[in-house]
Amino acid sequence: MQEPQKSPRATKSNLLKKQAAYRKGLQAELKAEMLLRQAGWQILERRYKTKQGEIDLIAEQDQTIVFVEVKARRGVDDGLYAITQRSQRRIANAAREWVSHHNDVVGKTLRFDAVILPKHGEAQHFPNLFEAEIF
């Protein structure tokens, strides 16, 4: 038995929503990148993707490398709650993959941060939001 076909209008609507979400994510990541740069961080990677997951930004300052999750939400709490244990695992798995290709990280501090962009108010950087084993 064949599945009923979705109407072209519904499919187009979903596509437009996905495109809008993608653009919103890009804008949030650019704002987060600016915030980190102003604080003295050097951006090493943007949207680092692996089969295990994705890291929005990877940055370095002094002897610290941070894997940054960026969330644009209505409020700061909403952004923090959106970083679930499942997403933390995916970020940590992607970080392991990144580290496996960068021998120069030995001896550096590795950390998982978040930048939350609330609808109203300033972007906030949350250092060391969660911990995960990398090595």
Domain boundaries, the chain: 8-130
Q: Tokens at residue 78, please?
A: 């909403």
The pLDDT profile of the chain, 135 residues, written as one tens digit per residue, is 566 565 555 677 888 888 888 888 889 999 999 999 999 999 999 999 999 999 999 999 999 999 999 999 999 999 999 999 999 999 999 999 999 999 999 999 999 999 999 999 999 999 999 999 887
* Whole-number pLDDT of residue 107: 94
The answer to whether 57 and 94 have CB atoms below 8 angstroms apart is no
* Whole-number pLDDT of residue 12: 76
For residue 34, what are the contacts with CB-CB under 8 A and spacing of at least 6? none
Cα Rg of the chain (Å, integer):
17
* Whole-number pLDDT of residue 133: 87
Residue 106 DSSP one-character state: T
Collapsed DSSP state (helix, strand, coil) of residue 3: coil
Other beta carbons less than 10 A from residue 113's beta carbon: 21
Beta bridge partners of 69: 114
Kind and range of the H or E run holding 91: helix 85-100
* Whole-number pLDDT of residue 2: 62
The pTM for the full model equals 0.87
Shortest CA distance to 14 belongs to which of 26, 6, 2, 4? 6
* Whole-number pLDDT of residue 25: 84
* Whole-number pLDDT of residue 33: 98
8-130 belongs to which CATH class?
alpha beta
- Residue position matching structure tokens 């072209």: 8
* Whole-number pLDDT of residue 9: 59
* Whole-number pLDDT of residue 6: 57
* Whole-number pLDDT of residue 17: 86
